[in-house]
Amino acid sequence: MLTTGGSHAQTVPRTPPRESAKRKVSRLQLLKYSMVNVFLVFHILAIACWCMPVDSPLILVGKNLIRPYFLWSGLFQSWDMFAPIPKGANTYIEAIVIYKDGSRSKWTFPRMEQLGLTEKLFKERYRKFADNLVREDADALLPDAARYIARMKSGPGNQVRTVILIQKWSLIVPRADGFYVPEPWDQHVLIGYGVQSEDLK
C-alpha cells in the first residue's frame, strides 16, 4: 500500500513540482521587489528631508521622526562646505603648559601652513579638530584636549599642573581696493585646566 500510494503520489501530483517552485520564486521576487521599493521611497524622502535647507514645519516634523534612525545608522549628513559664510579669520590654538615646579612651556596644534606637503596630508585632521574645539556647542571637548596635552607634556620628574588653551586669530578683511593685507593677531583663552593626578594615568 505504501509503495502504491507513493507511486500514485509521484505519477499524479497535485501541482507539478517545477511549476510550484516557479510560483514560489516569483512570489519571493515580488516580495523582494516590494521591500526594495519601500526601502527606496523611504530613504529618498528621508534623505531629502534631512538635507534640504527648507524651514517648513512639515520638513521639521519629518526630520525629528527620522533623526533616531539617521543618527543610529550613520545616514546623517550636512553639506555646508564653506557655506553659508566661509571662515573669516586665520586661526590656530596654542597651549601654555605650567609644570609643578613652576616652569612653563608652549605647545601649538600642528599648523598646516608650517608643514611640508606630506606632513600636511597626515596632520590635516588637526586643522579640523582645532576648528571644532573653538565651537561654543563643543565646549565639552576642551577638558579632554587639555588632559591629552597634560599627559603628552608630563615627564616622570615634572608633572603638568595647569594647561591653558589659547585661540589666536587674525581677521581676513578685504582692503578698500579688494586686496588682502594680513591683520594683527589677537587672542582669547579657551580654557584654563587644573590637572588632577588621575588625569595623568
Partner 1 sequence: MTLRGLLRAWNGFFFAEQSPTPIALFRIFYGGLVTATLILLRPDWLSWYGVHGWVTLPTASNLEPGARLNLFSIIPRNDACIEAFFWVSLGSAILLTVGLLTRLNSLLVFLCLTSIQQRNLYITHGGDTFLRLAGFFLIFAPAGAAFSLDRLIRIWRRKEPAHIQPRSPWAQRMIQLQLALLYFVSFLLKIRGAPWLQGTALFYVYHLDELRRFPLPSWFFHPVVLKLGSWSALVVEFFLGVLTWVKEFRYFLLALGVLFHLWLDYSLNIPLFQWDILSAYVLFVEPADIARSWNWIKHPLAERSAKQA
> Can you give the binding site for partner 1, defined by CB under 8 A?
33, 36, 40, 43-44, 47-48, 51-53, 67-68, 71-75, 77-88, 90-92, 111-113, 117, 120-129, 132-133, 138, 140-141, 143-145, 147-148, 151, 172, 174, 177-180
Q: Which is nearer to partner 1, 144 or 186 (CB)?
A: 144
Give me the least distance between CB of 73 and partner 1, in Å please: 6
Give me the least distance between CB of 16 and partner 1, in Å please: 27
All three cell numbers of 62: 519629518
Closest CA relative to residue 98, chosen from 195, 198, 187, 199:
195
All three cell numbers of 110: 600642528
Give me the least distance between CB of 60 and partner 1, in Å please: 16
d(CA 138, CA 144): 11
Residue 76: Cβ-neighbour burial (10 angstroms; 0-12, 13-18, 19+): middle
d(CA 174, CA 186): 18
d(CA 155, CA 107): 15
Q: Which is nearer to partner 1, 12 or 79 (CB)?
A: 79
Give me the least distance between CB of 51 and partner 1, in Å please: 5
Q: Which is nearer to partner 1, 2 or 140 (CB)?
A: 140
